[in-house]
Structure 1
Amino acid sequence: MPIDAAKAVASEPRSTSIAWDHKDIQLYHLGLGAGIPATDPDELRYTLESKLHVLPSFATVAGGGMAAAGGLSAPGIDVNLAHVLHGGQKVTLHRPIPAQGKAVQTSTIPAVYDKGKAAVIVMRSDVADDEGPLWTCDTQIFVRGEGGFGGDRGPSTRSELPERAPDRTALRPVREELALLYRLSGDWNPLHADPEFAKLAGFDKPILHGLCTYGITLKAVVDTVLGGDVSRVKSYGTRFAGIVFPGETLRIRMWETEGQVQVSVTAVEREDAPVLADTVVEFS
């Protein structure tokens, strides 16, 4: 069987060194659409090295963002990449990410869930530098056709939105070239750039990276709810519910409660088709 869940979970942790500097941070922020207006003091926190802070979702691309790819080569995992979808993502911060750093990333597979017609592989990356833990990334990979092996279905991650109007709504246009810029942070999948490849995958044109939408959404929450203070973010998780085409507009609805923001993200031009769901930002 392509997936041996017990072997995957029991496999030895895999460690690798990663490094980043201000250029990586600035490129990542620009790939999320930061820097407009270019001289806005609030935007300069994302684009100017002398004022730079780090959006916590940078954890998904630090060191080239290859944690998930490494997990798919772990013992017990042998899947057809054409059947693989990014199902969900969570970043837990242990302290603010520095604008320059060197760290060790340790990757494990804490669980493989059996969803019947599909399997969900949970990949965890713990990152620490000389001063201690920095962040933990949990990535859920959905593999079609690999379920039915009699394993645990896993916990439900669905969260109900409040039955009231959102406290805040932000519209974020996705510029036509944004996917081309975002992919320079490490995700070179031609699905996000090559029209012919996108058609082979069943899309009319290239689609935006899910993790780009993920970063755009966190930036909107930080800027509108948290006063631009990235250090207040404790964790950020989402489920990828749909696609975004460059040129579309994201409608980001936010409901605030004590210590967290629940978020819904939809594509305006496609009758508010769901993009991100079960999305929660926990903050201090």
Structure 2
Amino acid sequence: MPIDEATARTAAPRTREISWEPEDVQLYHLAIGAGVPATDPGELRYTLESDLHVLPSFATVAGGGEPGVIRALSMPGVDVDLARVLHGGQTLTVHRPLPVRGAATATDRITAVHDKGEAAVLVLRTEAADTEGPLWSEEARIFVRGAGGWGGDRGPSARTAPPAGAPDDTAGRPVRTVERPVREDQALLYRLTGDRNPLHADPAFARAAGFDRPVLHGLCTYGLTLKAVVDTLLDGDVTRVRSYATRFVSVVHPGETLRVRMWPRDGAVRVAVSAVERDDAPVLADTIVEHS
């Protein structure tokens, strides 16, 4: 069996030291589509070092290096082919605003291994803290095709009922559904934040993994969506975000347009993201941003 569930779950946590500079934050923001229009004051919050704000989803790439999906594959008890791996979902809890420049200790451990029949799902939890205390907690759910079927626990369902009705705020006022273009070179730019998975750049590798061409990183869509919510409903205030969760249901192709629909409800925003050119095919589901 390519995944030894007991070994993976009981392995000792792995700790690493990470650090980042303002340039890393700026690169991340540019990689998820910030900076258009370049002179817009709202965009300068993400790109200009003199007044830089850190979008909380930067936590998923802080410190560079291998992303959570790749780190999970190097944990004890896990021996699978990268071409059979997909990012199934991501959650993030922010304990306090992320600093523009920082250093932290990040601890990884696999907290669950679920048997979905034809596939397995690994849950990698990461805790990051600096000298002042906890900074963020995140969980990556990694879908491994062909690795299930050992009779293990299927795990909880992450699905929630879809929002009903047209997007609006708590007072019933309509909220504009926003559309965000994905650049043809978006995946190539996002790779510079640390995720060098060839699925997002190498056509031959993408075909071997079952795709007709390279696809966008799920975490790029994740960051792009959070930025849309913050800019549209939270007055651009990144410090209001408390947590953010989503499930990746389909890939995004560079060059497509994403439609982001938002339903605000009492300290939380339900979000649905779809690909415009594919008849609004869903790409993110069960997406919730909790905020102050």
Task: Please give the alpha-carbon distance, in whole angstroms, between the structure 1 residues aligned to 2:111 and 2:216.
Answer: 29
The answer to whether 1:230 aligns with 2:246 is no
Return the letter of the residue paired with 2:260: I
Shift in alpha-carbon separation, 1:223–1:178, aligned structure 2, 3 A: same
**Within 5 Å, which residues of 2 pair with 1:47-66?**
47-64=47-64, 66=66
Shift in alpha-carbon separation, 1:201–1:117, aligned structure 2, 3 A: closer
Task: Please give the alpha-carbon distance, in whole angstroms, between the structure 2 residues aligned to 1:233 and 1:263.
Answer: 14
Q: Paired residue for 1:69? A: 70
Q: Paired residue for 1:197? A: 205
How far is the alpha carbon of 1:65 from its aligned partner? 5.0
Task: Please give the alpha-carbon distance, in whole angstroms, between the structure 1 residues aligned to 2:121 and 2:213.
Answer: 27
Q: Paired residue for 2:150? A: 149
Return the letter of the residue paired with 1:40: D
How far is the alpha carbon of 1:43 from its aligned partner? 0.4
Task: Please give the alpha-carbon distance, in whole angstroms, between the structure 2 residues aligned to 1:184 and 1:155.
Answer: 34
Q: Contact 2:69–2:87 (CA<8 Å) still a contact in 1?
A: no
Bigger shift: residues 118-127 or 67-76: 67-76
The answer to whether 1:32 aligns with 2:40 is no
How far is the alpha carbon of 1:260 from its aligned partner? 0.7
Unaligned runs of 5+ in 2: 169-174
Paired-residue identity, %: 67
Unaligned runs of 5+ in 1: none
The answer to whether 1:45 aligns with 2:76 is no
TM-score (norm 1): 0.97
Bigger shift: residues 104-113 or 77-86: 77-86
**Within 5 Å, which residues of 2 pair with 1:1-284?**
1-64=1-64, 66=66, 67-167=68-168, 168=175, 169-284=177-292
Return the letter of the residue paired with 1:270: R
SS in 2 for 1:63: coil
SS in 1 for 2:225: helix
SS in 1 for 2:271: strand
How far is the alpha carbon of 1:145 from its aligned partner? 1.4
Q: Paired residue for 2:172? A: none
Return the letter of the residue paired with 1:282: E
Return the letter of the residue paired with 1:52: L
How far is the alpha carbon of 1:68 from its aligned partner? 3.1
Q: Deviations over 1:32-59 (max 9, x none)?
A: 1100111111000000011101011111
SS in 1 for 2:63: helix
Q: Deviations over 1:57-77 (max 9, x none)?
A: 111111125233222111111
SS in 1 for 2:57: helix
TM-score (norm 2): 0.94
Q: Contact 2:14–2:107 (CA<8 Å) still a contact in 1?
A: yes
Task: Please give the alpha-carbon distance, in whole angstroms, between the structure 2 residues aligned to 1:159 and 1:229.
Answer: 27
Q: Contact 2:83–2:205 (CA<8 Å) still a contact in 1?
A: no
Aligned residues: 284
